[in-house]
Structure formats: C-alpha cells, structure tokens
Structure 1
Amino acid sequence: RAPFILCPLFVVLVPTLYPVCHGGKVLVVRLEGSHWVNMDILVKALHGKGHLISVLRTTKSWYIKEESSYYHSITVPATKGLNKEFLEPLISKFIEYAMSESTFINSIKLQMELFAAKSSAHEMQCEMLSSMFGDKNMMKKLNESQFDLVLADPGWGSGAILAYYLQIPLVFNVRWTTTGEGHFDIAPSPVSYTPITGTGFTDKMTFKQRLKNILHYFLTLYQKYVLVKPKYQAICDKYLQPKVDFFELQQAADIWLMRVDFVFEFPRPTMPNVVYMGGFQCRPSNPLPQDLEVFVQSAGDHGVIIMSLGTFVGQLPKDVVADLTDEIAAAFAELPQKVIWRHIGDKPATLGSNTLLVNWLPQNDLLGHPKVKAFVAHGGTNGVQEALYHGVPVVGIPLFNDQHDNLIRLQERGAAKIVPPHTLDKTVFLQALQEVLHDPSYRMNMQRLSRLHKDQPMKPLDQAIFWIEFVMRHKGASHLRTESYKMPWYTYHSLDVIFSSLCIILFTIITFIFVTIKLCSRLCAKMKIKSE
C-alpha cells in the first residue's frame, strides 16, 4: 500500500522542486558597441529565466551576430550601418580633439562633429525603419509573433516606434537617449545643479559654470528639435496611425532601467518608473589564468597596476600614439609595481621590464584581485562601474564622449585622479600614479563607495529582470508613468497660469488706479464747487 500512499504526496511535492517558468517573448532593439555589451548581459539573463528573445539587427551589424545560442536574430537589409568602418575614423577624430588643448572653440568644434555624426547615425536608423515598414512580410511576422515586450536602448528611436506600432509595453535599457542623458527626457532636471554631459561640471557649479551649463543645454535642445526629431517624426507621420509625436513615444516607456545609481550619479530628481541598476554587469572575480596569476604574484607587496584605454586608441595616428604611449610607458618604468597594460599597436620604445603588454585582459577578474592597487582607465561606463564595485581607485585619462563626466563623478568623491590627455607627459602621469598609490584616502574612498553600492536589498541585475517581468505580467506599468509628457511646454511650466494670474493682477491694478483717479477727480470737482 505504500506506493499508493506516496503517490499523492509525490504529485504535490515534485512541482515545488522545480520552479514553474512562464516564459515571455521579448523583442530587443539594440545599439552597437559597448551598448550591446550591456544589453547582451540582460539578454542572457532573460534567456536563463526561460524567455524567448528575438534581437533586431541589420546586415551591417558589427557586434551582434546572426547566429546565437540564446537569441533568435531578425536581420534587416541595410546599405549602411553603425559599424567599424563608420565608427573608427570618427572616434579617432574625437581622440585627436582630446589630445589638443581644451578651449571653448575646440569644445564647440567637437560638439559640431558629434552632432554631424549623430545625425548620420539617426539617418541610418530611419532607413532601417523605412526598410522594415516597406517589407510587408516582415511586419506581418512581427505582428504574428505576439511579443510581450520591447526591450530597447533609446540611443536610437526605433525601439519606441516599433513598440507603438506593435502596441506592446516598452522597457528602456538606458543611460543615453537620442539627444542626451536619459534623466533629461523623463524627469525634472534643473540646470542650476544638474550638469549637462560634456561640460565636465559637478552638481556644485559657480556662476560662470552655470552660464556655460545653460549654453550647453540650449545646444542639446538644438540637437533634439533640429537634428533628431524631424528624422523620426517623418517615419511616425508616414507609418503610424493616428499620427503621434515621436518624443511622446519615447517618454511613454513603461520602465526606464537606468545604468547608474546614486552612489555614482549626482543626486537629482527622478520618477517612479525609473529603476536604477548601476553596476548590473559587475560580478565577483574569478581566478586568473595561470600565466597572469604568476605575473601578479611576482609583484610582491608592491602590488599591480592595470591599464586599459579601450580598443579605439589603436586607431589614432601613429605619431600621436607613439608620443602618448612612450610617456605612459616611461612613467610605469619608474614604479616598483608590476603593470598589466592592454595595449594595441607598436611596442613603446620606453617600455620597462615591470610592464606586461597584452591584447586582452580579464578586467573584472583583475580588478577583484587583492594585489591590484590602481586602475588606469579612459572612463568608459563599464570600466568605471567595475572599479567602483571592486573598490579600486582610478587614474583617469578621458578621451571622448562621456568619459570625462564619468571620471568627474569619481574624482568629486575622492576616488579618482584625472589626467587630461593634452597635459599628459611622463612627469604629470607619474605624479598622478604616485598620488593615487600612496595617498590612502583614494582607496578608502573607493572602498566606501563599493560598500555603499553593494548594500542593496536586491542585486542590480536581479532588480532589472524583476521589473522586465513585472511589465510582462501586468501588460505595462502605466500607474508609474507620469502624464506630464502630454502637456504643452507652456502648460508643463505653468506659464499659462502665470500669464493669466499676471493679467488678472494687472487688470485689478489698472482698475484700482482708474477708479481712484475717477473718485479723486469727482472729489476735487465737488470741493471746487463748494469753495466757489
């Protein structure tokens, strides 16, 4: 009789041993480069939770492969793309600007170059959207796929447009949108204490800095309404019915997964549907490969410095690269520490015996090694977050884009030292290294930031997955989304109320003056009659 008694118990217990997974269908609208590196982490995590992932790519995609074990690709034909051939000359030009003296004129030139490049990139996205909407079979398949959610990077506008067309919820994996830093599109952002990306300012600005901050803000408005919106609005007007405002589509996203947190970012206003997942890509370190471990251990008590300036430094003109790398190598050679340097290009002439050059390094695992004393970095978001996670102080050499702003946030908290590229020579770089290595406040401050970052009720990646699944379960998150984006700008700023109030006050004052004058004139007339 025992088997018969155990059978009902078996039926009850077995389902509890294996978690029930209700997988959803997610359409991922991606962006190339480091943005895809971030998105890829989310895609793998969602796949691991049992969700079916489809990734939109073009035939010109650089990072996103057509074949994958954890996603299905939807490939759109394209004549141009944001690929290696497009990006390398552009980034080379930006780095050359960084190597020149930082002046207002150079800053404006850089902004103009950046605007032109972004304009070209957005044109490519609009061509991709036109190609998709023109392919009736593709759009029919997308509709029939019955996706539960669009997960998009709002650096391109295509994700918001496709989510609206398919009438499904939209989640952003965001730090940048089509026109700038994500908070400026979704939350109140007073420019008196909210620095515009590219200024290099903190949240404590002087009068002169606030003036420059406002000028940069107006530049972003020019980019937003002159360079970006007309391109995407033309797609909306042609293919979406009824016609909608493109920026309203972006602001209508259900959840904004923000790739920062307030351990790193300056405090600022936010909104209920903004979820902070800064450092979601970070993880505990794994053991190093044997050859690297032997090299690290050979450093003894002096410890190790690791350096990586990203892959694009190799695209600089050789004379500029040689000058820069020779100065860096000469400074390293003066130190008792061992150095692991991710270097692409010719071997520096001044390379010391304490420096190991590698084409690739396990950055996260090295940063988590107890013998690593400092990290020389260009200030990319991924590297900065990993250094913060592991509590390793940074010597920053910002080259382009948001890198200087990222490093400013660490320097302001006493965890980094910035060396502007145009000032870098052996002496300056060596002084910065020695300051970070020998002043204990840098490591103490960075480790404090690391403790704050890790002291959370839920890991950032788990929190991101929870909110993505939350949106799928509830078919959106409209209860968290403000409706302010539907207001005209003058209503949002209460200018209509202010104007009406001023009119009423002015009318009351004029009426009072008019009545007073009339009364006074009548009183004077009566007094004149009596005196006569």
Structure 2
Amino acid sequence: MRYSNNNMVIVFLVFSLLTVPVLQCAKILTVCLIGGSHYLLLDEISHNFHQHGHEVRMLLQLGNPVITGFSYTGRADSYQTSTWSLGESYIKEYNGWFLEQQTQFLLGRDAFSDFLNFMGHLSYQCDHLLGDREMMAFLQREHYDIAILDAFNPCSFILARKLGVRHVAFYPGPLNGPLSIALPSPLSYVPVFNSQLSDHMDLWGRTKNLLYSLLAPIGQEFVWSRFREVAERHLGADSPPGGLEELYQGAELWAFNTDFSLEFPQPLMPYTVLVGGLLNKPAKPLDQDLESWISGYGEAGFIVVTLGSMVSSVSVDHLLVEMTAGFSQFPLGVIWRYDLERWPSHLDVPPNLRLVDWLPLNDLLGHPKVRLFVTHGGQNSLLQAVYHAVPVLGIPLFGDQFDNVVRAEAKGLGLIIRPTHITRELLSSTIQALTQDSRFKSSALSLSRIHRSYPVPPGLRLIQWVEHILHNAGGSHLRPISLTQPWYQRCLLDTALLFSLLLLGPAALCWALCRRRKSRDKNKKLQ
C-alpha cells in the first residue's frame, strides 16, 4: 500500500500524540517515613512531579514528630497519599522520647549513642511497615516506574528492594552526609561528616579529618547493624550481603538538598545532582496582624527565631532566661516560633518578643525589614536565609547542623553560638555584630545572587534528571565501576602492594644474599 505525503504526516502526528503520554507520564512513588522538614521536602517534590504530568503517590508514615501548627493533609488537586502508622500507643511513647531528646540537645548532649537509639526506633518502625502485608501487596500491585526515597532513612532502601523498583535517593542534607556513595573526597580540603571543619584546614585540621574518615565506616556499620535483621527477615535471599553500602549504591541517581552557594566546592560524580532550595519561593504579603506588629518597630526591623520544625520548644529554663534577656536588650522586634503551652508560667515575655505556634518562615525572611535569622542550622533554614539574603545566628543542636553552621560561618553568612555557651551578654553582643556589621549582609547578598542565578530552578532540575533516568531505563550510564570495586581496589592498595613487592623484593633478596655471604665468611675465619 502506498501513502501520500499528507497521509504520512497524519500517521506521524497521530503516532507522536499516542506516544507522548508514554514518554512523559510515569508512575512515581515517593517515600516519606520521617516527619518535619523531611515531609516538607518530599511534599514539594511530589507536588512538582504531579504538576509536571506524572502520576504520583506518597507513602507517608504518620506519628513521627510533627510540626507545631502544621497538618499533614497534603495538597488539594495534587498527588495521592497512602498513610501508615504504628498506632496511638507507640506514637505517644516515641514522641515522648523525642521530646526528651530535645532537652538533651539543648544541654549539648548530642552523643552517637543517641543517634543509634534513633536509628533503632526507625528500624522498629521499618520492621512493622514491611510486615504490613496489605500495604506491601498494594504497593507491589501498582508497579511503579521509579521511587524517590528519603535517603536519610535506610528503611527506604530496604522497601525499594522489597518492591523491586528502581529508585532515586534524595538526601535532605549536605554532600558529606551519606557515607556509602563513593564520591571523590580529597581529605585535604573536603570535610568529613561531623568533623565541623571548613575547606581551609591547617595540619591539625587535616589530621582530624583523616581520623574522622577512618572512623566513618565503623559508624556506618553500627547504623546498618540496627537494620540488618529487618532486611534479612523481609528480603530473605535478596538481603544485601554488602549491607547499607550496597543498598545505597543501587540508587539510579543521588539528589542532594544543597548547592554551591552554601556547599564547599568539591568533585562530584555523574550520578549526583544538587537541588538545594526546593522550598525557596518569593515572599508573599504577611497577614495584617503580623504586618502591623512589624510596622511598630519602624526601621529597626525584626529578628526571626526558630530552632527547627521538630524542636517545638526550649525546655531548659536557664537557657530560656538568658535568651529572653538577650533579646530584650534591642529595639528590634523578635518573633519566635515556640509551643505556647510549654512556655514557663514564671517567666515574663519581654515587650519586644512575640511567641507564635507557627510562622510563615519564607514570607518573614523575604520581608524588607527582617534583620537577622536565629536558627538551629537545618539545611532548609539556611538555604532560605541564602535565598532571601538574611544573615544568620546559628545555634546547632544535633546531626548535620554543626557542619551546616560551620559552612555558613565560613561563607560569611553569620556566626555560631553553641547552646551550652549562651549567655545574655554573648547573645546580645553577637546579635549586635550581625546586625550592625555590613559585611554579613554583603556576604548574604552575594550568596543569594549565586543561589538565584543557577540556569535551572532546583525543582525543575530534579524533574529533568529523573525523567532522564526514566527515558533511559535507568542510570547505569552514570555510575562508574568504582561503585562495585572492593575498597582496596578503589584505594589502589593492591597496586601499592604490588609495587612494594617489586621494589622491596630485590632489596630483600640482596640483603639475604649479603647476610648469607657474611655468615659464610665468618664461618671460614672460625675454621
């Protein structure tokens, strides 16, 4: 049969229209097993993919520490949600434990054993989630094209392996967080996680960095030990013999909630993409009540205080006394996100201090009269400060926050005070320096220009990379062979051993022959 040119064009157009949905629409599972800022990020990612024409469902675990004044209700006319929880009794027990941990953080007690206890809770939750036959059967029936995981929680990777679905790992923190993805990290200028070093290291800094790099695999093994039994029980023969490292390296792509406006420059690999600033948006007008309160302070402006989505209150009395006394010494307004029910009845609130259960952080930081942001140093908070060019006072409490505020200080964005060091005098002098020294605002403006001027916005950047993975049936072309090499091959220790044998072998042979000859000569003299 012969076709005219017009018929050929029509056939081509019809074929194209039929194939476009296949190429552009995918079934995507997003996995959010931790609340707080982790949920905010996964919610934004899920919504962005839905808006881009994909069919998205979030697996959301309820009952983790919640954001005061915020409800996990999802968005209207957006992605679908499947919720799961361990029940009210466990949720009450777990949140009670987490509230006690807040106090320990504020007292400066951020021990590795506490982090392992946290991982133990996540492992317990993981065991029950994977054991929920109804939920697992439902997810397997859906046959997702790809899953986007919260890479902070190892359970996400075990779940993806159980479902047999390709997955993208989204890490909500900086580049030095995951230990197992084989990024080239020269220890002379790339700080190891929790080292609290900048990229400018002296001899002792490099020595500390080396020691932390040697300890990191041991810490990772302790973390994996909390999940090993769970993985073996639910994956059976498919349980990874290489542990956490093998699971992490199975991701098609790693996306990090950071960029080089805040991150120290370092080498990357093709399977890594930086998408920091997903929650950053132009500020919206504040409600009339807040705007009137800000106007009351005139050109002096105001300070925003929040210690993170999961730390709802400061439950250490002497620390509250010192902070309120420090804030009261300024003509600026201070708006502080604090669980009002936990404010001590014996402590008066200074006239310039306004306590709120919830605050529109992005809109406040984008207000022209904001002067300073007092933050715990969470990655989202710092990226929002960068976006809106607001200097920060970092009060790190746990996890990656210590490294985060070191980077912020090294970039000139702000200063750091440890919670155990806070006094009214130190707080007052530090705020005065940050609000009156123009260098901090100048650095903030410079970082904001860098962050805002990337050619592709972070949300679209992630979508494009995930679609690239989908269109090419995976990301194997992005992953180097180093991910499957044994550690001694990756570090060239086998070649070093070979060279040592080649160089030392002849020397050892010569030494043995010389010694034998001397021994023979000595025996002849004795005879």
| Equivalence for 2:37 | 34
Q: For residues 84 and 379 of structure 1, do their structure 2 counterparts lie closer, same or farther at Cα, with a shift above 3 Å needed?
A: farther
Counterparts of 1:449-460 in structure 2 under 5 Å? 449-460=447-458
| Equivalence for 2:265 | 267
Q: Is residue 146 of structure 1 aligned with residue 143 of structure 2? A: yes
The answer for unaligned runs of 5 or more in structure 2 is: 1-8, 522-527
TM-score (norm 2): 0.84
For the residues of structure 2 that align with 1:372 and 1:348, how far apart are their CA atoms? 30
Q: For residues 401 and 23 of structure 1, do their structure 2 counterparts lie closer, same or farther at Cα, with a shift above 3 Å needed?
A: same
| Equivalence for 1:22 | 24
Q: For residues 503 and 520 of structure 1, do their structure 2 counterparts lie closer, same or farther at Cα, with a shift above 3 Å needed?
A: same
The DSSP-based 3-state class of the residue aligned with 1:27 is strand
Q: Which moved more, 1:81-90 or 1:438-447?
A: 81-90
Match of residue 483, structure 2, among 482, 485, 505: 485
Return the offset for 1:145.
1.6
Q: Which moved more, 1:224-233 or 1:296-305?
A: 224-233
The higher radius of gyration belongs to 1
Counterparts of 1:169-248 in structure 2 under 5 Å? 169-175=166-172, 181-182=177-178, 185-229=181-225, 231-232=227-228, 235-236=231-232, 239=235, 241=237, 244=240, 245-246=242-243, 247-248=245-246
Match of residue 500, structure 2, among 499, 502, 527: 502
Return the offset for 1:339.
2.2
Q: Which moved more, 1:447-456 or 1:188-197?
A: 188-197
Q: Is residue 466 of structure 1 aligned with residue 464 of structure 2? A: yes
For the residues of structure 2 that align with 1:378 and 1:387, how far apart are their CA atoms? 12
Amino acid at match of 1:29: V
The DSSP-based 3-state class of the residue aligned with 2:280 is coil
- CA-to-aligned-CA distance 1:96-125 (integer Å, 9 cap, x gap): 35435xxxxx66xx1222223223322432
- CA-to-aligned-CA distance 1:140-162 (integer Å, 9 cap, x gap): 54333221101101222233334
Return the offset for 1:306.
1.6
For the residues of structure 2 that align with 1:117 and 1:170, how far apart are their CA atoms? 24
- CA-to-aligned-CA distance 1:148-178 (integer Å, 9 cap, x gap): 101101222233334334443211111459x
| Count of residues in Structure 1 that have an aligned counterpart in Structure 2 | 499
Return the offset for 1:68.
6.4
Return the offset for 1:263.
1.5
Amino acid at match of 1:49: H
| Equivalence for 1:300 | 298
Q: Is residue 407 of structure 1 aligned with residue 415 of structure 2? A: no
- CA-to-aligned-CA distance 1:429-456 (integer Å, 9 cap, x gap): 1101110111000100111000011111
| Equivalence for 2:322 | 327
Are 1:258 and 1:278, in contact at CA under 8 Å, matched by a contact in 2? yes
Q: Is residue 96 of structure 1 aligned with residue 93 of structure 2? A: no
Are 1:299 and 1:338, in contact at CA under 8 Å, matched by a contact in 2? yes
Q: Which moved more, 1:52-61 or 1:326-335?
A: 52-61
- CA-to-aligned-CA distance 1:453-508 (integer Å, 9 cap, x gap): 11111011110111122222222111111221211221221111211221222223
Q: Is residue 395 of structure 1 aligned with residue 393 of structure 2? A: yes
Amino acid at match of 2:48: A
Are 1:415 and 1:446, in contact at CA under 8 Å, matched by a contact in 2? yes
Q: For residues 275 and 83 of structure 1, do their structure 2 counterparts lie closer, same or farther at Cα, with a shift above 3 Å needed?
A: farther
| Equivalence for 1:51 | 54
The share of aligned pairs that are identical, in percent, is 29
| Equivalence for 2:250 | 252
Match of residue 369, structure 2, among 368, 371, 389: 371
For the residues of structure 1 that align with 2:183 and 2:368, how far apart are their CA atoms? 40
Q: Which moved more, 1:90-99 or 1:422-431?
A: 90-99
TM-score (norm 1): 0.83
Amino acid at match of 1:47: H
Are 2:301 and 2:332, in contact at CA under 8 Å, matched by a contact in 1? yes
Are 1:252 and 1:481, in contact at CA under 8 Å, matched by a contact in 2? no
> Cα RMSD (Å) of the superposition?
3.5
- CA-to-aligned-CA distance 1:222-249 (integer Å, 9 cap, x gap): 2322341463376257625455333212
Q: For residues 331 and 125 of structure 1, do their structure 2 counterparts lie closer, same or farther at Cα, with a shift above 3 Å needed?
A: same
Return the offset for 1:376.
1.4
For the residues of structure 1 that align with 2:302 and 2:150, how far apart are their CA atoms? 36
For the residues of structure 2 that align with 1:234 and 1:356, how far apart are their CA atoms? 46
Q: For residues 242 and 301 of structure 1, do their structure 2 counterparts lie closer, same or farther at Cα, with a shift above 3 Å needed?
A: closer
Return the offset for 1:57.
3.7
For the residues of structure 1 that align with 2:476 and 2:208, how far apart are their CA atoms? 37
| Equivalence for 1:527 | none
The DSSP-based 3-state class of the residue aligned with 1:185 is coil
Return the offset for 1:264.
0.7
For the residues of structure 1 that align with 2:233 and 2:309, how far apart are their CA atoms? 40
The answer for unaligned runs of 5 or more in structure 1 is: 1-7, 101-105, 525-532
For the residues of structure 2 that align with 1:201 and 1:46, how far apart are their CA atoms? 36
For the residues of structure 1 that align with 2:399 and 2:90, how far apart are their CA atoms? 16
Are 1:31 and 1:156, in contact at CA under 8 Å, matched by a contact in 2? yes
For the residues of structure 1 that align with 2:286 and 2:169, how far apart are their CA atoms? 34
- CA-to-aligned-CA distance 1:354-374 (integer Å, 9 cap, x gap): 232222111101111111111
